[in-house]
Amino acid sequence: MLTQKKMLLIDGDEGIRKSLALFFGSRNCCLHTVENGAQGLTAINNALYDIIICEELLPDMRGLNFFKILTTRGYKTLKILITWYGNNATSVKVRQQNIDCLLTKPFSGEEVEAAMIRLIKAETLAQKADL
């Protein structure tokens, strides 16, 4: 299911970028990784991504701001926000910005993969319901 999707990971932590790139690469998935919001914006200007995973505390901006920029540009993608804290205030902001999933660190590649699969299945069901 994920092998047909183009994914972008934006995370300031090189270890997370490398480990998820290896994890998804071993599953023949296309995961492009960058370390900050500016690089993420450049990436989306050059390609369309089905799923974007973005850390909340990037070196140059907040992940919520990154997703807000995408929304104002009309960029359609599944959005996953990564955070170290999963409090109610963050959850409210995630819902307000129509972010599809909130993942709390630490997490495993399997957890990220499962979240993506759930989102894709939900999106597929929603599209069928619209027909």
Virtual CA dihedral for 22, 24, 30, 31, nearest 10 degrees? Answer: -70
Give me the residue spans of the domains in the chain: 2-130
Q: Which tops the pLDDT comparison, 85 or 6?
A: 6
The predicted model scores a pTM of: 0.91
In tens, the pLDDT along 8-66 reads: 999 999 999 999 999 999 999 999 999 999 999 999 999 999 999 999 999 999 999 99
- Beta strand pairing call for 78-83 and 101-104: parallel
Q: Which CATH class for the 2-130 domain?
A: alpha beta
